[in-house]
């Protein structure tokens, strides 16, 4: 009896000192923690630790690949929220690129490794300034195009193509038309992708179609079931509100 009690006490002591390794973490659990980062910003780091544990403990290539994809997304999000996480956005995006490279190494035919590499590269280039954005553009396009070749219906990839054409208005003819084409395709694949909706609002503002812009931006703000709820709460909704405020007198 005494031996049993000692073993129980040792178990609980171990879980308190080493909580991350107390039990086998699943991808679903790690993703669930990340999906709630809007409720507690430290959930991003917790999810990173959990994804790392999944990768360390798994021998399944698909699971390891998904773990690296989760890490690439988590680091990109940490960089976006660096004012709250109190981290270096540049370093976060660098880590995100490294995790995406690992995902590509594990599964060269997986679209999301290339997508998240491009996403983190794009964000890092923005931090570095306009010149670096131009220098990084060929590498960004190469990886985004590879992702698109592997999955032409993925809403996130299509939305990213739309954003790219939006930013290239000075060098691409009919930039707005190409942007809207990809954003509409993204929303056909996923009608709940609120970032694509907010981007449509930006294009409509650029075209002077203020009433249409107000309608879609208001829809983003009041959206009930976005695909990425935390991203909607922390990024998409504030973006839509900022854009809507900018045209309140139009």
- The CATH number assigned to the domain holding 114 equals 1.25.40
Question: Are residues 181 and 245 located together in one domain of the fold?
Answer: yes
Q: What is the pLDDT of residue 24?
A: 72
Q: Is residue 10 part of a domain?
A: no
- In terms of C-beta density within 10 A (0-12 exposed, 13-18 middle, 19 or more buried), how is residue 221 classed? middle
161 and 248 belong to one structural domain:
yes
Which of 132, 162, 179 represents a domain boundary (last residue)?
A: 132
Confidence tier at 23 by pLDDT (50, 70, 90): low
Does some domain include residue 65?
Answer: yes
The residue range of the domain holding 156 is 152-250
Q: Is the pLDDT of residue 203 over 50?
A: yes
For the full predicted model, state whether its pTM sits above 0.85: yes
DSSP code of 123? Answer: H
Same domain, 233 and 205: yes
Q: Are residues 120 and 170 in the same domain?
A: no
Say which residues have a Cβ less than 8 Å from residue 99's Cβ, sequence separation at least 6. 68, 69, 71, 72, 75, 116
Do 115 and 45 share a structural domain? yes
Task: Give the number of domains in the chain.
Answer: 2
**pLDDT over threshold 90, residue 10:** no
| Shared-domain flag, residues 109 and 170 | no
């Amino acid at each position: 009896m005494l031996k049993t009690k000692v073993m129980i006490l040792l178990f609980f002591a171990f879980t308190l000192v080493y909580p991350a390794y107390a039990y086998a973490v699943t991808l679903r659990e790690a993703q669930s923690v990340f999906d709630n980062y809007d409720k507690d910003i430290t959930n991003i780091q917790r999810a990173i630790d959990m994804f790392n544990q999944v990768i360390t403990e798994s021998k399944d290539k698909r699971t390891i690949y998904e773990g690296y994809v989760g890490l690439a997304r988590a680091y990109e999000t940490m960089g976006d929220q660096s004012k709250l996480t109190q981290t270096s956005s540049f370093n976060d995006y660098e880590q995100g690129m490294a995790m995406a490279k690992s995902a590509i190494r594990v599964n060269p035919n997986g679209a999301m490794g290339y997508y998240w590499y491009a996403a983190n590269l794009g964000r890092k280039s923005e931090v570095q300034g306009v010149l670096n954005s131009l220098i990084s553009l060929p590498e960004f396009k190469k990886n985004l195009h590879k992702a698109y070749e592997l999955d032409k219906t993925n809403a996130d990839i299509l939305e990213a193509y739309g954003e790219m054409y939006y930013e290239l208005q000075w060098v691409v003819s009919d930039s707005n038309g190409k942007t809207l084409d990809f954003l509409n395709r993204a929303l056909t694949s996923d009608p709940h992708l609120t970032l694509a909706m907010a981007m449509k609002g930006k294009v409509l503002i650029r075209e002077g179609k203020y009433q249409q812009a107000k309608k879609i931006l208001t829809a983003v703000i009041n959206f009930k079931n976005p695909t990425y709820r935390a991203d909607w709460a922390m990024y998409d909704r504030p973006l839509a509100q900022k854009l809507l405020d900018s045209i309140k007198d139009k």
